[in-house]
Amino acid sequence: LRTVGDLMHKGDELPLTRPDAAMSEAILTMTQKRFGIVGVTASDGALAGVITDGDLRRHIDGLLTHTAGEVMTRGPK
């Protein structure tokens, strides 16, 4: 597994959220950081998944009732 430290951008530049974060929070992070994606990190800092614009579209019905962990694509490459 890759950790967040392996990525080119670092620290506060990265659009990151927790699996238990509300989708409204994840969308806000994605928008503020302007990457078009938000990484979902496990408690050990490993990248557990990502949420892309495509994931938002696939879950549009009731999107804001889900958590980031429910919407994310697991095991990104």
Q: Give the model confidence (pLDDT) of 43-57 as tens digits.
A: 888 899 999 989 999
Task: Judge whether residue 16 has pLDDT over 90.
Answer: yes
51: nearest Cα among 65, 25, 9, 13:
25
**SS3 readout for the chain:** CCEHHHCCCCHHHCCEECCCCEHHHHHHHHHHHCCCEEEEECCCCEEEEEEEHHHHHHCCCCHHHCEHHHHCEECCC
Of 5-9, 14-18, 37-41, the range with the lowest mean pLDDT is: 5-9
Per-residue pLDDT at 6: 53
